[in-house]
Each structure stands twice: as structure tokens, then as C-alpha cells.
Amino acid sequence: MAGEVKYPCFIEKKNAKGEWIWGYFARNGEQIAKSSESYVKHADCTHSIELLKGSKTHKIFVAKPKRAAAPSRPRRTKAAASP
């Protein structure tokens, strides 16, 4: 990388397959986010970062947890006829 890294920042690099990935690093230098896919073209990797950077005004929704299904009651079975 050219120059000293100043946090917080995004860092782009190539993975073992030679494809581009990015990571976002917090002020303390710890990686707190990363790309969920790799990119053949460097421009596509950079574009995905720009999409994230442009989302700061987007609303945040909190997903409600799904309700747990009620426990099923055991089925009543007919008593076997006695011989």
C-alpha cells in the first residue's frame, strides 16, 4: 500500500484467487466489515465501496424476531383393541 494507512478506512486487496476484496477498518485498526463477494475487476470492488459510502442517509430497520412456534401437542391415538 502506498503511504501510511490512516484509520478508519477501506482497504482493497487481492485474495488468493487474484480477485479484489475490500475490508473496512475502525479507528482502532480492527476490521469490522468485509465484502461478501470478490470482484474480478478492481473498478467493481471500488464501486461496491462507493455504494456503501453513499448509504449513510438510508433508513435502518430492526427486524423483529420470528415468533417461536407453539409446542405441538401429542396426538391422541386410539387404544389398540384388546384381543
Per-block mean pLDDT, blocks of 10 residues, the chain (83 long) = 86 98 98 98 98 94 86 70 57
From residue 60, alpha-carbon distances to 10, 37, 56, 57, 63 in Å are 21, 22, 10, 9, 10
The amino acid present at 39, given as its one-letter code, is: Y
Full-prediction pTM beyond 0.75?
A: no
- pLDDT for residue 67: 84
The amino acid present at 71, given as its one-letter code, is: P
Instruction: Tabulate helix, strand, coil % of the chain (nearest 5).
Output: 15, 20, 65
Q: Where are the domains of the chain?
A: 9-53
The CATH superfamily of 9-53 is: YegP-like (3.30.160.160)
49: cell is: 465501496
* Phi/psi at 5 (5° precision): -80, 130
